[in-house]
A and B are shown apart, each in its own frame.
Chain A
């Protein structure tokens, strides 16, 4: 049963600290997405990669957020420095995109981040 895994599942940190979230996409998927979910804003796309190359990160605050795919089995989202307004659930999703058309996204369980 292939699944997207995310670590950590929960993170509590203090303002100003660095936070790194990790995601292992489903093997064989060529697209990885990072989303942030809050009650006020709903699901917001932060960044997405195809074949490990960043296609779009315009939804991400560039001054403090960064996303990378060091290899096909690992995607990272880093916040430095973290702020209380970054408190949210961060989801990673992966998918297989063929012929340029979006297909089903498979979501991980999320990382619940609380910045004090």
Chain B
């Protein structure tokens, strides 16, 4: 049973455009919703995270939108830059082993 579904698998965006990546989850006990960013040859690193008590969080060009009723959260990258080209993972968290699941990843390519 797949706990986390991430889409799209890959995304190509022009410089200055908006990148949107989605994550759907099943476990209603999750209470921590992070996005990780991974560059080639590096380990994933936390990009931005949100708690379920708010519906949106913005940090610079990165925004998380959270829809608790739909059990979905998304990452929006405004004014996408070539330096944003990376693989992005969602990893909703909570207690227990089921919390330790990463989405399948979205490979973002921002073209200059």
Give A residues with C-beta under 8 Å from B. 4, 33, 35, 42-43, 45, 48, 55-56, 58, 91, 93, 100-110
Q: How many A-B residue pairs have CB under 8 A?
A: 53
Q: Are B102 and A102 in contact (CB under 8 A)?
A: no
The residues of A that contact B94 with a CB separation of less than 8 Å are 101-102
In whole angstroms, how far apart are the Cα atoms of A35 and B100 in the complex?
10
B12 on the A face (CB < 8 A): no
Question: Given A42-B102, A101-B32, do A109 and B42 touch, yes or no (CB 8 Å)?
Answer: yes
Q: Are A110 and B43 in contact (CB under 8 A)?
A: yes
> Which of A48, A102, A106, A110 counts the most chain B CB atoms within 10 A?
A102
B contact residues, total (Cβ < 8 Å): 22
A-B residue pairs in contact (CB < 8 Å), sample of 23: A4-B43, A33-B100, A35-B102, A42-B102, A42-B103, A42-B105, A55-B97, A58-B97, A91-B43, A93-B43, A100-B95, A101-B32, A101-B95, A103-B32, A104-B34, A104-B46, A104-B49, A105-B91, A107-B43, A107-B44, A109-B42, A110-B42, A110-B43
The 8 lowest CB-CB distance pairs between A and B, nearest first, are A107-B43, A102-B93, A43-B102, A56-B97, A100-B95, A102-B99, A45-B100, A104-B46
The residues of B that contact A93 with a CB separation of less than 8 Å are 43
B111 on the A face (CB < 8 A): no
Smallest Cβ-Cβ distance to B92: which chain A residue: A102
> Which of A93, A104, A109, A110 counts the most chain B CB atoms within 10 A?
A104
Smallest Cβ-Cβ distance to A91: which chain B residue: B43
In whole angstroms, how far apart are the Cα atoms of A33 and B99 in the complex?
12
The residues of B that contact A56 with a CB separation of less than 8 Å are 97, 100
Chain A proximity of B40: nearest CB distance (Å): 11
In whole angstroms, how far apart are the Cα atoms of A58 and B96 in the complex?
13
The residues of B that contact A101 with a CB separation of less than 8 Å are 31-32, 93-95
> Which of B31, B43, B91, B99 counts the most chain A CB atoms within 10 A?
B43
Q: Which of A4, A48, A100 contacts B100 (CB 8 A)?
A: A48
Q: Are B100 and A102 in contact (CB under 8 A)?
A: yes
The residues of B that contact A105 with a CB separation of less than 8 Å are 44, 46, 91
Interface string of B78-107 (1 = CB under 8 A from A): 000000000001010111010111111100
